[in-house]
Amino acid sequence: MRHKVDFLVIGSGIAGLSFALKAANYGKVGMITKSKIDDTATKYAQGGVAAVIYSPDTYEKHIRDTMIAGDELSNPKIVDITIRESTARVLELVEWGVNFDKTDSGKYALAKEGGHSEFRVLHHKDITGAEIEQKLILAAKRNKNITILENCLAIDIITQHHLGVEVSRKTPDIRCFGAYVYNPNNKKVETVLSKVTMMATGGIGTVYGHTTNPNIATGDGIAMVYRAKGTVEGMEFVQFHPTTLYNPKETPSFLITEAMRGAGAILKDRNGDEFMSKYDARGALAPRDIVARAIDNELKISGSDFVYLDATALPKDVIFSHFPNIYAKCLSIGIDIMRDMIPVVPAAHYSCGGIKTDEWGESSIQHLFASGECASTGLHGANRLASNSLLEALVFSHRASLKAVEDIKKIDFCDEIPEWDTEGTVLNEEMVLITQTKKELQTIMSNYVGIVRSNLRLQRAFDRLEILYGETEELYKKSILFPEICELRNMINVGYLIIKNAMDRKESRGLHYSLDYPEHRDVSQVTRDML
Ligand code: FAD
Ligand code: SIN
């Protein structure tokens, strides 16, 4: 079975939906999403969207904060583009129906988070992502040019490799003709041909044992592009959010937004003593890499499983108006945040690296764009500034749409693409092989490739992963396809990329900290070595 669409969008979070809504003015959009339409990281975003709205904030200040957080590895041109387009993009969200909180005087109520020198985070209580996701879905469902297929998993992008042409990482003109997609209704892999494809598959958090990310975050887009010999970069920069609720049995880990620290909540050790001022003059509002490492260090010294976030001094009306979801969640497990300190622990949260894209969101593969968390635009460098990711998705989905609508005028469908080859495969009856390997992968990544790394830990992770890789590839080749094996394969692929990039970086920078190379290196030397 084959389908044809002008624009194939893989993923229904902020990146996919905002691109689709724009592209739909110029052609037919087919959006596929591997779970329910709102099963996205976007839905879970709490803090909000960073954008320059009122003075005394300025583009220059936001640019500077982003560059400082990125620890000298952000691309200045991309930072400039993103921040200067921030105001227009968030106002567009408002046009799509998104409600951001306002003060009594009718101005937007802006929050502050770690690394921001000004109040600039637009939010909808502490459920900003749910508000955005819901309004974008409504707009997409109303649009006659957008067809949405839920529970359909993209397995691989289609390139000339599928026409029997050899492709390597050095091939300059790899082209994307669409994707092979698993349809659960007939349990078949179908061919979706497109003129342009937008990869918007989100993050990689589930590669780790503890993560704020929903189950869909298995790094599929990154793995697909890597397999197709596209360029993937910066995977060593995995951001651990410093404050997730310590509630060991809960998956994903529940986030306690950084905006709470912005409002005055303080990090304390098990004796109730403030500790962040020992690590950084900015205290609990230092950039995330610093706060997460400080907490990791406190936990190692004390042997505790968590530290505390003390929000008891926050006024009641602030809790009820800005943090009602966190208040209710904590209360549901017996913690009244107006009286009790909140036990918190870091968890894997965000991938700064991903599919390398240019200033128009285009990847190294022709006709393939990427936006949102699966992309590496160069904005975040070695560490993302809080609330810059929803913004990044909006800016680059917009820019990609401008380029893509021009491109489709010159592109034809490639009708010679063959159907998916299922020869020699049998039904795999042993799900335990998948679930167990996934657990092993998460244990390896959490223990050896977490907040603090070393040569020995990375080597051990690499060796263990090689075994899992071999076993899983073997199983994949023999199995009739089903989503779980595809996702596991992608997770192993992503784990490999994180380890490999971490091994290659012989220094500590931003989110990557190595006990063997604790120093920063000269940036020009680092760049030369990586070329
Ligand atoms: P997602 O929203 O994750 O969407 C990915 C989509 O791709 C999903 O629809 C998924 O089903 C689909 N998909 C994946 N693989 C496939 C496949 N193989 N085939 C078909 N479909 C597929 N950022 C901020 O800027 N501000 C915040 O306040 C903030 N808070 C956050 C709080 C939490 C708890 C989390 C987890 C993240 C937060 N972030 C925040 C980060 C931000 O939410 C994400 O980076 C952003 O939403 C990613 O959007 P996306 O569209 O790239 O991906
Ligand atoms: C948060 O609300 O702390 C998360 C913000 C983000 O990840 O950008």
Q: Are residues 396 and 328 in the same domain?
A: no
pLDDT at 426 over 80: no
Residue 468 near residue 509 (C-beta atoms within 8 A)? no
- With the most atoms of ligand 2 within 8 angstroms of its CB, the residue from 14, 42, 43, 46 to mutate is 46
Q: How far apart are CA 526 and CA 531, in angstroms?
A: 9
- With the most atoms of ligand 2 within 8 angstroms of its CB, the residue from 128, 257, 385 to mutate is 257
User: 188-199 and 368-370: which strand pairing?
Assistant: parallel
**Domain assignment of residue 248, yes or no:** no
**Domain assignment of residue 444, yes or no:** yes
Q: Which of 344, 365, 393 is the last residue of a domain?
A: 344
Q: Which of 362, 379, 410 is the last residue of a domain?
A: 410
Q: In the prediction, which pLDDT does 525 show? A: 60
pTM confidence score: 0.97
**What would the 3-class secondary structure string for 330-354 be?**
HHHCCCCCCCCCEEEEEEEEEECCE
**Domain assignment of residue 183, yes or no:** yes
Neighbouring-strand partners of residue 509: 512
Q: Are residues 304 and 438 in the same domain?
A: no
Closest approach atom of ligand 2 to CA 239 = 7
CA–centroid distance, residue 492 to ligand 1 (Å):
19
Which domain CATH number covers 326?
A: 3.90.700.10
Confidence of residue 531 (pLDDT cuts 50, 70, 90): very low
Distant-in-sequence, close-in-space partners of 104: CB < 8 Å, separation ≥ 6: none
- Shortest-distance Cα residue to atom 8 of ligand 2: 387
Q: In the prediction, which pLDDT does 121 show? A: 98
Helix axes 389-407 and 128-142, enclosed angle (nearest 10): 20
CA–centroid distance, residue 290 to ligand 2 (Å):
15
Percentage with pLDDT > 90 across the chain? 92
| Active-site residue set | 288
pLDDT at 179 over 60: yes
- Shortest-distance Cα residue to atom 32 of ligand 1: 45
Which domain CATH number covers 482?
A: 1.20.58.100
State pLDDT tens for residues 316-336.
999 999 999 999 999 999 999
Distant-in-sequence, close-in-space partners of 24: CB < 8 Å, separation ≥ 6: 7, 143, 145, 146
Average pLDDT over residues 178-207: 97
**Domain assignment of residue 249, yes or no:** no
Average pLDDT over residues 78-104: 97
Confidence of residue 482 (pLDDT cuts 50, 70, 90): confident
Average pLDDT over residues 419-441: 86
Q: Are residues 305 and 224 in the same domain?
A: no
Closest-approaching ligand to the CA atom of 8:
1
* Placement of tokens 């894209």 in the chain: 357
Average pLDDT over residues 108-114: 95
Average pLDDT over residues 389-399: 98
Q: How far apart are CA 254 and CA 343, in angstroms?
A: 11
Site residues for ligand 2, CB cut-off 6 Å: 46-47, 255, 257-259, 350, 386-387, 389
Q: How far apart are CA 199 and CA 314, in angstroms?
A: 41
Q: How far apart are CA 272 and CA 76, in angstroms?
A: 41
Q: How far apart are CA 508 and CA 493, in angstroms?
A: 24
Q: Are residues 435 and 524 in the same domain?
A: yes
**Domain assignment of residue 250, yes or no:** no
- With the most atoms of ligand 2 within 8 angstroms of its CB, the residue from 112, 241, 288, 384 to mutate is 241
**Domain assignment of residue 417, yes or no:** no
The CA-atom distances, in angstroms, between 310 and each of 212, 266, 317 are 20, 5, 16
pLDDT at 272 over 70: yes
CA–centroid distance, residue 273 to ligand 1 (Å):
35
Closest-approaching ligand to the CA atom of 386:
2
Q: How far apart are CA 116 and CA 157, in angstroms?
A: 38
Q: How far apart are CA 309 and CA 283, in angstroms?
A: 13
Q: In the prediction, which pLDDT does 249 show? A: 87
Average pLDDT over residues 79-100: 98
Q: How far apart are CA 43 and CA 240, in angstroms?
A: 19
CA–centroid distance, residue 255 to ligand 2 (Å):
8
Q: How far apart are CA 113 and CA 47, in angstroms?
A: 8
Closest approach atom of ligand 2 to CA 385 = 8
Residue 481 near residue 428 (C-beta atoms within 8 A)? no
Q: How far apart are CA 66 and CA 77, in angstroms?
A: 12
Q: Are residues 431 and 498 in the same domain?
A: yes
Q: Are residues 530 and 489 in the same domain?
A: yes
**Domain assignment of residue 63, yes or no:** yes
Q: Are residues 395 and 455 in the same domain?
A: no
CA–centroid distance, residue 132 to ligand 1 (Å):
12
Q: In the prediction, which pLDDT does 527 show? A: 53
State pLDDT tens for residues 337-371.
999 999 999 999 999 999 999 999 999 999 999 99
CA–centroid distance, residue 258 to ligand 2 (Å):
6
Q: Are residues 112 and 189 in the same domain?
A: yes
Q: Are residues 403 and 449 in the same domain?
A: no
State pLDDT tens for residues 22-43.
999 999 999 999 999 999 999 9
Neighbouring-strand partners of residue 351: 238
Percentage with pLDDT > 70 across the chain? 98
- Shortest-distance Cα residue to atom 29 of ligand 1: 45
Closest approach atom of ligand 2 to CA 389 = 8
Q: Are residues 113 and 175 in the same domain?
A: yes
State pLDDT tens for residues 207-245.
999 999 999 999 999 999 999 999 999 999 999 999 999
CA–centroid distance, residue 37 to ligand 1 (Å):
12
Closest-approaching ligand to the CA atom of 260:
2
Q: Considering the chain, what is the average pLDDT of its residues?
A: 95
Q: Which of 344, 373, 395 is the last residue of a domain?
A: 344
CA 299 to chain centre: 26
Q: What is the sign of the dihedral through the CA atoms of 324, 325, 328 and 329?
A: negative
pLDDT at 429 over 50: yes
The CA-atom distances, in angstroms, between 474 and each of 188, 428, 467 are 20, 12, 11
**Domain assignment of residue 245, yes or no:** no
Confidence of residue 171 (pLDDT cuts 50, 70, 90): very high
Q: Classify residue 424 by burial, with Cβ atoms within 10 Å: 0-12, 13-18, 19+.
A: exposed
Q: How far apart are CA 187 and CA 480, in angstroms?
A: 9
Q: Are residues 275 and 388 in the same domain?
A: no
Closest approach atom of ligand 1 to CA 387 = 25
CA angle 205/509/65 to nearest 5° reads 85
Domain that holds residue 155: 2-236+352-410
Site residues for ligand 1, CB cut-off 6 Å: 10-16, 32-35, 39-42, 44-49, 128-129, 153-154, 200-203, 212-213, 216, 220, 255, 350, 372-374, 387-390, 393
Name which of 479, 414, 489 is nearest 179 in CA terms: 414
- Shortest-distance Cα residue to atom 21 of ligand 1: 33
Residue 200 near residue 221 (C-beta atoms within 8 A)? yes
Q: Are residues 194 and 51 in the same domain?
A: yes
Residue 408 near residue 26 (C-beta atoms within 8 A)? yes
How many domains does the chain contain in total? 3
The CA-atom distances, in angstroms, between 5 and each of 8, 148, 450, 479 are 6, 12, 41, 29
Residue 403 near residue 396 (C-beta atoms within 8 A)? no
CA–centroid distance, residue 308 to ligand 1 (Å):
27
